[in-house]
Amino acid sequence: MGGVYGRLAAVRRAELRTRLVVAVVLAAMAYFIAPSMGPLAWLCLVFVSQMGERAFFQTPSEDPGRGELAAWAATIALASVIYCSLGVYLWFRGGEVGRSLALLLGAGSLLHVTIHMYHVRLLLLAANLPHALVFLGLPISAAVSGEPLMWTILLGAILFLAHLAVTFRQASSTTRQFEIERNRAEESNRAKSDFLATISHEIRTPMNAIVSAANLLRHSRLNKAQREQVEVLTDANEVLLSLLNDVLDLSKIEAGKMTLEVAGLELDRTLQGLHRLWRPRAADKGLDLRLEIDPAVPAAVMLDALRLKQILFNLISNAVKFTHAGSVTIRLGTDKVAGEDMLAFEVIDTGVGIPPEVAQRLFGAFEQGDAGTTRKHGGSGLGLAISRRLASLMGGAIELRSTPGQGSTFRLLLPLVPAAGCEEIADEAEASTGDEALRGLRVLVADDHPINQRIVELLLAPFGCQLTFCDDGAQAVELAGVQAFDAVLMDMQMPVLDGVEATRQIKAGGGPNAGAPIIALTANALDHHRAAWAEVGVHAFVSKPIDPRQLIASLAAAASRIGTRRAA
C-alpha cells in the first residue's frame, strides 16, 4: 500500500504546474465572462491550497495511519471545494455561457480525479464528492426554480456519473488483477531464486571436496602421468564450476544485469588448459586437437577470465561434438577491426558444416542445427546464445563461416588490452609468502560439514595455522566470547544459528573477537548472499569450491591487519 501512496504523491507533485496553469486559464475565462474580483480571489485560494498539499505530502509514509490518511483526505477535499467553487460562480454570474462552462468544468474535474485516484477509495471520495455535489446540485437548483430544461441536463449529468462509476469499477478490477499477477510473478521469481540458491549450495559443497582434493594432489609428489591426470581433473573442475556459474548467471543475462570482472590473464595458460581438457575427448573420436598461438600475441591481457573460458568451452565443445573425422584447431592471433586492435580466437573444425538457413538462427536461445541434435548430442541450445551475449558485453563479437560438408570456423573477436602483469602469477607469489604470514595464526573455523572442515585443515595446517573447529553459528559465538582468535572462517548455512547472524553477534558482543577479521567461507555465492555478508561487515568473501590462493591471500591480508593493530 505504501507504494500506492508514494506513486499518488509523485503524480500530484508532477502535475502541480499543470493544475496551476489550468487554474490561471480558467480564472481568466471566468473574469472575461463575469468580470469581478471573484476569479482573482479564487485563483489565490487555489494557489494556497495546492502549495499546502504539496508541502504536507512531500514524503508520504509508506503505510500511513488513520490520522495521516484523514489529513490527506481533508486537504484534498478542501482543494476540491475551492476548485469547484468557480463553477458555482460561473453558474450564477456568467449567464448561459457561464453555466455551460461550469458543467464542463465539473465533468472535466470528475474525470481527471477519477483517473488519478481510483486506486485509493477514500481519497477518490474526498476529491470527487465536492465536484459531484456541485455537478448535480447546480442543475437541480435551477430545475426546482422552474427551469424544465434543467431536468434533461440533470439526467445527462446523472448518466455521466453512472458511466464514470462503471469505468471506476472496471479500472479497480483491472488494477486488482494486475496486483494479483504481479504478486504471482514476484512469488515465482522468489521461488526461482530459492531454487538457484539451493542448487548452487548443494552442488558447490561436493565440488569443494573434489576441487580441493585435486589442488592438494597437485602439490604432492606425482609422476608425469599422474600430474597430467591431476591437471585434467583440475581443468575439468574449473570448467564445471564455470558452467555452474553460467546457469546461475542466466537470470542476470536475461535481466541485463551481467557484470564483468576484468583482470590480468595469461592467454597461453588458459588455452593450454582448454586444450589439455579437450584433447582426450577429441582423441576418443579419432580427432586431432591442435593449438596454434601467434607469438606476436601479448602474454598477458586484461579480460574476464571466467567469461572467456565459458565462450571458448562452448565453441570447442560444439566443434568436437559435431566433427566425426579430421581435426579441430584452436587458434589465437590478432586482427584490426575499425582501426582497433583485437584478439582473434578461432575454433576451426572439419565437421558437418552448417547450412546458411540454419546459421542465421543458430545464435538464438534453445536453437540447435536440427530436431535430432538434442537427442543425438544432448545440450540445451543455450551455449551459443550465451556466448554471443557475453562476447558483446566484453566489447567483442562472434562470427561464423561455414561450408556444409567441409567444416565451420567460429571466430571470437575481443578488444586487445595488454596487461603489465598477470593476476594468476600475482596470486601464486602471494601464496608463496603465505607460509610466514600464516604461521601461528589462530583461526576459528565454523562449518557444519566434516569434509569441509577436513579440507580447511589440509589447506591451512601446513602453513602453521592453529585451527579450532565448531559445527554451528551458536558454538562460534560462544567460543568467540571466551577465546581470542586472529581470524574467523564463517560458513553461512549452518544449524542452530546461521553464519550471518553469528557474525553480527560476534561483532556486537564486545568480546575478545569483536574486531577480529571474519572471512565468509561459503557455498552460498549468489549476489544477495554477498550483500548479506557485506551488511554485517565481513573482512572478505571466499566462495566454495575453495580457491586455495584466494583463501591464503585473504588470511594473509587478515594477518597483516592484525599485525598493524598489534603494532599500534
| Domain residue ranges in the chain | 2-147, 260-415, 432-567
* CB-side neighbour CA atoms (13 Å) of 40: 3
In 3D space, the residue among 501, 507, 533 whose CA is nearest the CA of residue 520 turns out to be 533
pTM of the model: 0.46
* Rounded Cα–Cα distance for residues 128 and 517 (Å): 61
* Rounded Cα–Cα distance for residues 540 and 534 (Å): 9
Q: What is the CATH number of domain 432-567?
A: 3.40.50.2300
Count helices and strands (H / E) in the chain: 20, 12
What is the tens place of the pLDDT at every residue in 139-149?
998 888 888 88
Q: Which helix (H) or strand (E) holds 239?
A: helix 224-255
Most confident option among 111-115, 155-159, 175-179, 211-215: 155-159
Predicted pLDDT at 56: 61
Which residue is it, cell 543458430? 362
Contacts of 289 (CB under 8 A, 6+ apart): 275, 278, 279, 282, 283, 320, 327, 328, 329, 330
Check if 260-415 and 432-567 are the same fold: no
- Neighbour-count burial of 391, counting CB atoms closer than 10 A to its CB (0-12 exposed, 13-18 middle, 19+ buried): buried
Predicted pLDDT at 519: 93
In 3D space, the residue among 508, 533, 511 whose CA is nearest the CA of residue 522 turns out to be 533
Which residue is it, cell 571474519? 518
Residue pair 464/474 in contact (Cβ under 8 Å)? The answer is no
Q: Which neighbouring-strand residues pair with 541?
A: 520
In 3D space, the residue among 400, 292, 404, 406 whose CA is nearest the CA of residue 349 turns out to be 406
375 pLDDT more than 60: no
Q: Which neighbouring-strand residues pair with 400?
A: 410
* Rounded Cα–Cα distance for residues 463 and 219 (Å): 14
Min mean pLDDT across 7-11, 98-102, 279-283, 397-401 is at: 7-11
State mean pLDDT over 52-57: 68
What is the tens place of the pLDDT at every residue in 446-488?
998 888 888 888 889 888 899 999 999 999 999 999 999 999 9
Predicted pLDDT at 483: 92
Contacts of 416 (CB under 8 A, 6+ apart): 298, 301, 334, 341, 342, 343
Min mean pLDDT across 288-292, 378-382, 415-419, 502-506 is at: 378-382
- Mean pLDDT over each residue of the chain, to the nearest integer: 81
Contacts 24+ apart (CB under 8 A), 129-134: 129/77, 129/80, 130/77, 130/80, 130/81, 130/83, 130/84, 131/80, 131/83, 131/84, 131/106, 132/161, 134/84, 134/87, 134/88, 134/106
Predicted pLDDT at 428: 40
Fold of 260-415: Heat Shock Protein 90 (3.30.565)
Contacts of 210 (CB under 8 A, 6+ apart): 233, 237, 545
To the nearest whole percent, how much of the chain has pLDDT over 70?
A: 82
Compute the residue count for the chain. 568
Q: Is 333 helix (H, G, I), strand (E, B) or coil?
A: strand
Quickly state the pLDDT bin for 118 (edges 50, 70, 90): low
